[in-house]
């Protein structure tokens, strides 16, 4: 029995029935990590001893009838920008390569309270700045579907480990598509909740008004269940929403009868692969057959979203990353004086992409340019949020591609602007603080998975999951299971 190939829901059911132990499930994942991860490179830190110890404790609880949750004993992986007490928290950067987190992130506390053994911490673009995980300073992560291609980013390690069968599910973070894009490239379900639905406490900041913890899973039901497990208010995060929300898993099989689905006017004229366009058309037809009302909608500011997002994100990154100065924690490179130490530390500790974003962010915040760039971007952001709100008066959920193409080859996008354009469909949801998710629907000519994106109004994750459940059923009927396992 290959437990590592099973979904979190299947493992939970078997654990509840006593058919397997948590130790069995964790050992299966660890064995597969040992066998596969040298080729994939998903994990930066594997916590074999800790995971097995947590699994043993879970098995004891279940024998005594004290299970902490339905998911007690189901293993999970987390992105390496989420604090886990006593474990490296590198953010994929030399700046924090040897930094040990002194506390747990709120979502990690929630995982522990649910009894989930943590298998390890996964690779990522440095400080979550990237769309391919090519900007990790520590190692290369490859797409399990084709190891010559990127897994997407910045949460590429979390996506790759789930797609490769090394973990049944994982946590990542999404600032402009960093959960949804790797989910699309790796054939997974990736959910970014409403801003504030999940606490950011213990998530290393990139752009604080955009960052959100998200989920990777092989099924929509698993993603919904994991979202329920980590959602909720947190006194340590003033932006967290007091209400934890409903039981998201119950929405998945609710159907879409009467649901109003919006499709962007003229999206076919965008630069998308023919196979992606075909998947969009098939998905639209499937939703219509299931009883949804499909209508055309317009978001004329969508073409301004990339510029708006990168101005705001880089400005916030410049501010947030100022704390890495060689004084308090992280890397320190000594110099002739304090200024030289500061310069050497940041020069050697940060990679090229992070430096680029810090420089651009500092520029747009500087005197004489603040009004022209940063302030203007915030004004456009407000307009984008307003357009979404108006659109969701007419429709319940928006259907778009997640990305215009499937996973690309390493080194294919050398031009930073070309790389940034891969976020075209994903950044609007972050700017507006809306829930959005990617799920696999179809394959391209090369056999790689295609991801479609669903976006809903604020706090309307259940509506988004309704549509996702219908599309997932269509895909499972023709493809079978998700992932590259």
Domain boundaries, the chain: 3-258+400-479
Distance CA 146, CA 169 (A): 20
User: Per residue in 82-135, pLDDT tens?
Assistant: 999 999 999 999 999 999 999 999 999 999 999 999 999 999 999 999 999 999
Q: What residue ranges in 93-145 does DSSP mark as E strands?
A: 118-122
Q: What share of the chain is helix, strand, coil (3-state, %, to 5)?
A: 45, 15, 40
Counting residues of the chain whose pLDDT is more than 70, the rounded percentage is: 98
Q: Which residues are catalytic?
A: 79, 154, 178
Q: Which fold has domain 3-258+400-479?
A: Amidase signature (AS) enzymes (3.90.1300)
pLDDT at 481 over 60: no
Distance CA 328, CA 332 (A): 9
So what's the pLDDT on residue 1?
63
So what's the pLDDT on residue 479?
73
Query: Once rounded to an integer, what is the mean pLDDT over residues 406-428?
Result: 95
Q: Of 258-262, 386-390, 456-460, 478-482, where does mean pLDDT reach its minimum? A: 478-482
So what's the pLDDT on residue 165?
97
Taking a C-beta distance cutoff of 8 angstroms, is the pair 48, 30 a contact?
yes
User: Per residue in 266-305, pLDDT tens?
Assistant: 776 668 899 999 999 999 999 999 999 999 999 999 999 9
Q: At what angle do helices 22-40 and 156-163 cross, to 10 degrees?
A: 120
Task: Assign 312 to helix, strand or coil.
Answer: helix
**Closest to 433 (Cα-Cα) out of 458, 463, 464, 461:** 458
Q: How many CB atoms lie within 10 A of CB 256?
A: 24
Instruction: Tokens 């003229």: give the residue.
Output: 266
So what's the pLDDT on residue 478?
81
Taking a C-beta distance cutoff of 8 angstroms, is the pair 297, 265 a contact?
yes
So what's the pLDDT on residue 348?
97
Overall residue count recorded for the chain in this entry: 485
**Distances, alpha carbon 15 to alpha carbons 46, 59, 224, in Å:** 23, 9, 19
Distance CA 455, CA 434 (A): 7
User: Per residue in 306-315, pLDDT tens?
Assistant: 999 999 999 9
User: Per residue in 54-80, pLDDT tens?
Assistant: 999 999 999 999 999 999 999 999 999
Lay out the sheet containing 118-122: strands in order across. 43-46, 118-122, 76-79, 169-173, 213-217, 189-192, 436-443, 449-456, 397-401, 260-264, 293-297
Query: Once rounded to an integer, what is the mean pLDDT over residues 161-165?
Result: 98
**Closest to 191 (Cα-Cα) out of 172, 206, 204, 167:** 172
So what's the pLDDT on residue 285?
97
**Closest to 199 (Cα-Cα) out of 228, 245, 241:** 241
pLDDT at 139 over 80: yes
So what's the pLDDT on residue 269?
60
Cβ neighbourhood burial of 367 (10 Å; 0-12, 13-18, 19+)? exposed
Q: Which helix (H) or strand (E) holds 14?
A: helix 8-17
pLDDT at 42 over 80: yes
Answering whether pTM is above 0.85, one says yes
So what's the pLDDT on residue 484?
66
Instruction: Provide φ and ψ at 188, rounded to 5°.
Output: -125, 170
So what's the pLDDT on residue 243?
84
Instruction: Provide φ and ψ at 459, rounded to 5°.
Output: 65, 15
Distance CA 424, CA 160 (A): 22
Taking a C-beta distance cutoff of 8 angstroms, is the pair 260, 448 a contact?
no
Taking a C-beta distance cutoff of 8 angstroms, is the pair 203, 193 a contact?
no
Kindly report the CA angle at 173 between 385 and 434, in degrees rounded to 5? Answer: 20
């Amino acid at each position: 029995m290959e437990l590592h190939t099973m979904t979190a829901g299947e493992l939970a059911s078997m654990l509840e029935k006593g058919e397997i132990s948590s130790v069995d499930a964790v050992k299966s994942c660890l064995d597969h990590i040992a066998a596969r991860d040298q080729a994939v490179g998903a994990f930066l830190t594997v916590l074999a001893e800790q995971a097995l110890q947590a699994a043993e404790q879970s098995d004891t609880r279940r024998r005594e009838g004290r299970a902490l949750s339905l998911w007690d004993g189901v293993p999970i992986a987390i992105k390496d920008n989420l604090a886990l007490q006593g474990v490296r928290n590198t953010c994929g950067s030399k700046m924090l390569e040897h930094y040990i987190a002194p506390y747990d992130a709120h979502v990690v506390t929630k995982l522990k309270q649910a009894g989930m053994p943590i298998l390890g911490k996964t690779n990522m673009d440095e400080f979550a700045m990237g769309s391919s995980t090519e900007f990790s300073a520590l190692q290369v992560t490859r797409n399990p579907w084709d190891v010559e291609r990127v897994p997407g980013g910045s949460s590429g390690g979390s996506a790759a480990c789930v797609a490769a069968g090394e973990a049944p599910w994982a946590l990542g973070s999404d600032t402009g598509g960093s959960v949804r894009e790797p989910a699309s490239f790796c054939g997974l379900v990736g959910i970014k909740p409403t801003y504030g639905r999940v606490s950011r406490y213990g998530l290393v900041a990139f752009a604080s008004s955009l960052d959100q913890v998200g989920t990777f899973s092989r099924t929509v039901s698993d993603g919904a269940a994991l979202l329920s497990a980590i959602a909720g208010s947190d006194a340590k995060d003033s932006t967290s929403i007091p209400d934890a929300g409903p039981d998201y898993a119950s929405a998945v099989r609710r159907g879409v009868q009467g649901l109003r689905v919006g499709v962007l006017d003229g999206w076919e004229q965008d630069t998308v692969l023919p196979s992606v366009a075909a998947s969009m058309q098939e998905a639209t037809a499937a939703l219509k057959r299931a009883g949804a009302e499909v209508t055309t909608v317009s978001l004329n500011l969508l073409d301004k979203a990339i510029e708006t997002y990168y101005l705001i994100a880089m400005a916030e990154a410049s501010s947030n990353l100022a704390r890495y100065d060689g004084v308090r924690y992280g890397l320190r490179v000594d110099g002739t004086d304090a200024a030289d130490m500061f310069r050497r530390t940041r020069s050697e500790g940060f990679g090229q992409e992070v430096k680029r974003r810090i420089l651009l962010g500092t520029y747009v915040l500087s005197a004489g340019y603040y009004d022209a760039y940063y302030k203007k971007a915030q004004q456009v952001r407000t307009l984008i949020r307003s357009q979404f709100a108006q659109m969701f008066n007419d429709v319940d959920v928006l259907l778009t591609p997640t990305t215009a193409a499937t996973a690309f080859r390493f080194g294919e996008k050398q031009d930073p602007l070309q790389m940034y354009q891969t976020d075209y469909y994903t950044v609007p949801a972050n700017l507006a603080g809306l829930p959005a998710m990617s799920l696999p629907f179809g394959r391209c000519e090369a056999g790689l998975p295609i991801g479609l994106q669903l976006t809903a109004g604020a706090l309307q994750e259940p509506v988004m999951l309704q549509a996702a459940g219908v599309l997932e059923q269509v895909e499972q009927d023709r493809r079978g299971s998700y992932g590259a396992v």
